[in-house]
Amino acid sequence: MTHSSAQNQQEVKQIFTDFLEKKQMRKTQERFAILEEIYNIEHFDAYSLYVNMKEKNYRVSRATVYNTLELLIECGLVKRHHFGANFSVYEKAYQYRQHDHLVCIECKQIFEFCDPRLQNIQQMVEDIYKFDIAYHTLVFRGICEACEQKKAASANTTPQIPSDA
Ligand SMILES: [Zn+2]
Ligand SMILES: [Zn+2]
């Protein structure tokens, strides 16, 4: 069953509202604008989220973006992935299907995949180790198709011989 994104937006807003009230924090427009933006995009890094919002004329400071991200992680609406040194990306987490990632080490693009067999492995591991698994993270790093093709193309072109003539 698909969960409409409008309905999703309503629900995440409610969760964030309750969370802020519980923490006795201000429910500012900026915080909700950041939340809405996040639920309209895929993986992102904190700085480009800030730049994107600036470009859309939102009046948000960098500090607000970073602080809000921390709050959204705390209340479970956003997930942070560490894909490498100085390479962290965020993504929406509410009602979002369990998935794993492929990260291209050339262009840093992120692809998602979902394979039910991984769930079977998880189940097996739970049974064998009597371990109640809450979640898992799996990242495959390598070269994406586009980068692979670019590499092949540049390898096929004969090197230019510099002429001094
Ligand atoms: Zn690539
Ligand atoms: Zn993802």
Cβ neighbour number for residue 50 with a 10 Å cutoff: 21
Residue 165: pLDDT band (50, 70, 90) is: low
| pLDDT tens-digit map of 81-121 | 998 888 899 999 988 778 999 999 999 999 999 999 999 99
Confidence check: pLDDT of 23 > 80: yes
- CATH architecture of the domain with residue range 97-154: 2-Layer Sandwich (3.30)
Average pLDDT of the chain, as a whole number: 91
Task: Report the separation in Å between the CA atom of 19 and the middle of ligand 2, taken as the mean of its atom positions.
Answer: 24
Q: Could you say which architecture CATH assigns to the domain 1-96?
A: Orthogonal Bundle (1.10)
Two domains, one topology: 1-96 and 97-154? no
- How far is residue 94's CA from residue 108's CA, in Å, rounded to a whole number? 24
**Which pLDDT does position 1 carry in this prediction?**
42
Q: 16, 31 in Cβ contact below 8 A?
A: yes
DSSP 77: S
Which residues contact residue 27 at a Cβ distance below 8 angstroms, ignoring those fewer than 6 apart? 17, 20, 21
Q: Residue 35: what pLDDT? A: 96
Report the C-alpha dihedral over residues 36, 65, 80, 86, rounded to 10 degrees: 140
pLDDT of residue 85: 83
Residue 59 pLDDT > 60: yes
**What are the domain boundaries of the chain?**
1-96, 97-154
Range in 26-30, 42-46, 82-86 the model is least confident about: 82-86
Joined tokens for residue 76: 């479970």
Query: Helices H, strands E: what count in the chain?
Result: 6, 5
For ligand 2, an ion, list residues with CB under 5 A: 91, 112
Q: Is 114 known as a binding-site position? A: no
The single residue listed with the structure tokens 């492929």 is: 102
Provide the pLDDT confidence category of residue 8 given band limits of 50, 70 and 90.
confident
Task: Tell me the pLDDT band of 44, cut-offs 50, 70 and 90.
Answer: very high
Expressed in angstroms and rounded, the spacing between residue 139 Cα and the centre of ligand 1 is: 15
